[in-house]
Chains A and B, each alone.
Chain A
Amino acid sequence: MSGDVVLETTGLTVRFGGVTAVDGVDFALRERELRCLIGPNGAGKSTFFKCLTGMLTPSEGAIYLRDEAVAGLAPFQLGQRGVGIKTQVPSVMNGLSVHENVWLAARRRKGDANAATLSALEAVGIADLRRETVGQLSHGQRQLVELAIVLAGKPWLILLDEPAAGLSGEEVERMVGILRGLVKHATLIVVEHDMHFIRQIAETVTVFHQGRIIAQAPVEDVLEDPLVRDVYLGRSR
């Protein structure tokens, strides 16, 4: 599990007008870790996530991707550096077919794009849907399409924002299996709410609260931490 530090933030701060959404966050991620970010709504984890994906530029602080400073880079530049991003609301091309959606991602890598598309679709288990127009699929299926899109780019760092949202029980099981398989080759950050889901995939969990990290520990330890419980149950503000 442990290896070199591949993603690091120092003093990361994001301010919107008078509100400080992320407050001086120091974060480090090692190679082939599967880290979950949790925290109540408004804790700043989504904002932090958006900085990692390039959709937000931090007000202060730095982000290092394999020792390269990347804060403020545009999303496509991070995509070109091998970062795969899955957003909270399925961000897919509704008017195109499943195959085309994934193919556009696959062709960014050298090699046969069609073959890579097929293998990504198979890894996610939706190869039978490849000719369907994405706009006509269910929400859960679109989540899976987006996952296939992310995988087809063969990223070494994968950022997932609520991958289990809106999935049926069976689809969640599938997702767990996929993520567990992914972490053998890639490094993952998962933002999630579903504690049951988190328990099944996570090793280390980072807890956000009011823009700061208040705890970082293996899953079971974090849930025992009284501070974390207070935050979730609302006793501390």
Chain B
Amino acid sequence: MRNFKNTFLSIVLLFPVIAFAQLTIKGKVTDKNTKTELPGVNVVVKGTLNGSTTDFDGLYTIDKVNTGDVLVFSFIGYYSLEVTITSNADINVELEESAESLDEVVVIGYGSVKKEDLTGAVDLITSEDFNQGPVVSAQQLISGKIAGVSVTSGGGAPGEGQEINIRGLGSLSLTSTPLIVVDGLPLNDGGVGGSRNTLNLINPNDIESMVVLKDASATSIYGSRAANGVIIITTKKGKDSEFKFNLNSSMTFSNPIDQVDVLSAGRFTRLINGTGDADAIARLGSSNTDWQEAIYVDAVGTDNSFSALGSAWGVPMRASVGYSDQSGILDRDNFKRTTASLSLTPTLLDEHLKIELNARGMYTENTFANRDAIGNAVSFDPTQSISDPNSQYAGYFSWVDPNTGSQFNLAPSNPVALINLVDDTAEVRRLVANAKFDYKLHFFPDLTATVNVGLDKSNSNGRTLTSEFIPTSDPTFNGSRTTFSEEATNQLLDAYLTYNKSINEVHNLTFVAGYSYQKFEFENFNFDSEKEEQGNDFEFIDRSENILLSYFGRLNYDYDGKYLITATLRADASSKLNPNDQWGYFPSVAVAWNIHNEDFMDGSFINQLKLRAGYGEVGNVNGLGDYNFLTRYTGSQSTANYQFGSAFFQTFRPEPINEELRWEVGRTLNVGLDYSILNSRISGSVNAYLKETQDLIASAFIDPFTNFGNRIDKNIGDMENKGIEFALNVIPVKTEDIEWSISYNIAFNDNKVTNLPFDQPTGGISGGVGNNIQVHTEGESPFSYLVYKQIYDTNGKPIEGAFVDRNGDNIINDDDRYLYNDPYADVIMGLNTNLSFKNWDLSIVTRANFGNYAYNNVASSTGYLRRATQNNILTNLHSNHLNTGFIETTENNLLSDHFIENASFFKIDNITLGYKLADNTLFEDVNFRFYGSLQNVATVTDYNGLDPEIINTGDGTSGIDNNFYPRPRTFVFGVNIDF
């Protein structure tokens, strides 16, 4: 009835207008900057269905218009333009390309929305904005680009793992990294053994865009796997066009930048002579060996990729192959990767059935340099030479115990021998494929049924061969071989229905409901030749599986593009939890107001102004072990059997059990503002969020009388992250020849444990056995350092063993330790700029972290005098010894706040300069771009260690600097050819 009324009213109101004589208008649409014609531009009479599009030459004709009508010219990627008809003269318009188009479609999980219709904290980075330079893995593409998202490499090895953190640390011991979804397929969290980085799978050149979902109202559709945010990667797809080809080829040259500061041979000799220890002095050699220089080399690499996209037999397709060969600066480190991808996107049945087939494969060959050499190079006596013609160990100098004739029990092995006498290689294969069918029902076109089946399967084979000549205290060692093979499989089935309805063009409704099934299987197999020789178990199998089952629903509604609401509910069940309590329900709701679409904003300098607010909950059991709720017994290996009589029995141990493990739940409240003004010359967003993670799952100490161990994975407490993010994009200059853009983002994050019944020590360090430098404690940041307060003399030199007796009981013990900073930055910034001048382009990427502190474990564990002469050998010291003069390593010295340093930094990550060879007469229709790039350009920091940015990609913990694989400085020269 109401519809009828509206229609009636429209007719009545429009009737007088229709009565006038009608005109036909023609004209041409061009690009404001390039002056080229724009085909396919929509031309519509505002408020009517009357419209047309421009032809190949940018020309249009529109009939039945009247003076006073308003023509709306719109085209994806350009600002819309409105022109009022005043006469029948031609109307030629120039459209301006928008820096950030509101019409861009953003994939949000089980669907997509126009950017303008987003309600959550979502960032979209397209290939144009990706970082340039030596990018091996997808994460590096967005490093420094998004407020609140930090991407940190585990070290300088080629293909090294990258830790992504969205809005600080999300969990204490569960996975803290975001879920990564590639073309609708959520990937496995962990990699298989031998793979350096799970995202090495994808050649960065294949990526079209990356969407980062930051707040829970956006992520909750992905349920429990999305607890730490989601990164949705969409790869490039074929287009309905002629084939186009792209060839990208580059060479990289990497050099070590810096070394750990240790005593030189001369200084070390003086030190040993100064001890007066005759035995030690006698051990001094006469060489001058820089052991670090001996293990680090200049490395060369190449990266090549080729892609073709177009349409054949009416099927849009894209195929690519890539090959990368990168060496590391640690001698013999090498990473070779071959990738191939194919995507087919046919549309059938009158566009009712859309099919998307994606398959990508990766094959990597890794040669892992022996990283034990890193620590040993720091410690090895610089007065010894690398070679010793009399050495039984392949001519490498070693500390030999004259009594046993073998290397001393506690002596470090010659670093160069470690590099050259151990072969550690692995091959990893991975296949990720999915097939997605979107069927728009013929009899009910508002409804689309989607089925997505996917497979993510990887396997690896690796082996470590150790030469019989390796220096060892084992007199019988005759070489060894250990091998492993691992397989991880993730199967996915999604089935969902999407109902899309627009009523009277003002009520826009999208409803999605579906079901998802994921099965994760792991298997690995190990072999050890040493154990075989000794007659022990030498083959080991580990196997596990878990299931994640989900139902989800989402409602998107907007009223006239002005008022938007999104409501989501996801129910997840994980087989990791007790069947009595394995379902978790995660709702979210978000609202947004597109202020710029209000009538009162017409004609304003504001292009976009959107206010958003959202609340959502997501669960987390990622990284939790399986079967915690069952009493399981673990059988002993044959090296841990027990003798009864003359026989050895396998033993069965009951494992700690927790029947009460529940979902860890994160609840996020986010308010945000998206803005774009002055023809989008200035744009950006502001977000403020509060995330409470409740029932944190962590390995927690328990009363050992109540279980079969002293720790179990347990819901132990709550944590809070709160922060503000600010992003600003400015285009100060935009002319025909010059375009200059600057983007800046800053994020403040405060992370603290809000509820923890008792402290949890963490952060194991080297230098002793079982020392922890960090603690989780209520009211403080997780992983806060817990240290003694060092006392210094009047010259500022630390007094060994002198610490502040904070509780005044005249005893220095654990009670005197205090909380002193944490490894997480309070402020993270990114500042990037792009400048193009005619055919030249220049981009610079910089980042800064403030308020992050690091524990210099290299200095603390290797800088004390006793170490130089103990164990019947000589050991080099960290130069920090010259500052501290410390003699003994004791727990207190190790735990001194002297070694906690402010590791705030400013880094120039990358500078890239490119030149586009346009209008070349030699090859018509071929575009060349030549570029040179410098990675890891400069670091400004007060931190004394090698690199202030320390993260353990294995467990996500950070701040403990030890045996770090230095990040090299890398030069890249490359060419990109489109034809």
A binds B: no
Q: Which A residues lie at the B interface, using CB under 8 A? A: none
